[in-house]
């Protein structure tokens, strides 16, 4: 088992990661009867994409003796209706100044674009992934 999710009340859950004991809370978003005081479940999916992209890049970068410290992914989730779902995820990746050659950049970007979360998303979810190499 990976986690437990407990419904607290008022459209809030507590999610417990069993291996580490760390917890996060979720709220329904304000556009769907919630308070929006925490990540929504769909926010976690979009944010998970950004985290997975930068983590897999970091794994590959370590094998290449490259430090990605300070890399950042700005994530925007766009909801659609009928049925209500994530329609688009925008992920803008900003990399620190590394002075890498084009081949290395291509490798790292390919790793990000094929991370496990990206490969798990439904093909109807539009992805707008952009990289900014300083």
pLDDT digits (tens, 9 = 90+) for 49-77: 999 999 999 999 999 999 999 999 999 99
Q: Where are the alpha helices (DSSP H) in 14-98?
A: 41-63
**Residues 56 and 113 sit within 8 Å (Cβ to Cβ):** no
**pLDDT tens, 80-93?**
999 999 999 999 99
Please give the structure tokens belonging to residue 123. Answer: 């093909």
**pLDDT tens, 7-29?**
999 999 999 999 999 999 999 99
Query: Do 23 and 69 sit in the same domain of this protein?
Result: no
Query: Do 122 and 59 sit in the same domain of this protein?
Result: yes
Task: Kindly provide the b/e burial profile for residues 97-132, where b requires at least 16 CB atoms within 10 angstroms of the residue's own CB.
Answer: ebebeeeeeebbbebbbebebbeebeeebeeebebe
Query: Do 53 and 19 sit in the same domain of this protein?
Result: no
Contacts for 133 with CB less than 8 Å, ≥ 6 apart: 95, 98, 100, 105
How high is the pLDDT of residue 45?
98
Domain containing residue 117: CATH number = 3.30.300.20
Query: Do 8 and 49 sit in the same domain of this protein?
Result: no
In 3-state terms, what secondary structure has residue 131?
Answer: strand
Give me the domain span that covers residue 28. 3-32
Query: Do 73 and 106 sit in the same domain of this protein?
Result: yes
Q: Where are the alpha helices (DSSP H) in the chain?
A: 41-63, 102-113, 116-120
Please give the structure tokens belonging to residue 44. Answer: 């976690």
Query: Do 47 and 91 sit in the same domain of this protein?
Result: yes
Q: How many domains does the chain have?
A: 2
Query: Do 22 and 84 sit in the same domain of this protein?
Result: no
Query: Do 74 and 103 sit in the same domain of this protein?
Result: yes
Query: Do 94 and 120 sit in the same domain of this protein?
Result: yes
Query: Do 13 and 59 sit in the same domain of this protein?
Result: no
């Amino acid at each position: 088992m990976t986690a437990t999710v407990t419904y607290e009340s008022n459209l809030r859950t507590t999610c417990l990661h069993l291996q580490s004991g760390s917890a996060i809370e979720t709220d329904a978003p304000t556009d769907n009867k919630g308070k929006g005081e925490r990540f929504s479940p769909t926010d976690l999916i979009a944010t998970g994409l950004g985290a997975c992209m930068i983590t897999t890049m970091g794994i590959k970068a370590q094998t290449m003796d490259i430090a990605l410290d300070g890399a950042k992914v700005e994530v925007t989730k766009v909801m659609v209706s009928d049925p209500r779902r994530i329609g688009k995820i925008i992920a803008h990746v900003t990399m620190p100044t590394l002075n890498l050659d084009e081949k290395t950049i291509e490798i790292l970007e390919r790793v990000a674009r094929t991370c496990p979360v990206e490969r798990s998303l439904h093909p109807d979810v539009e992805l707008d992934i952009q990289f900014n190499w300083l």
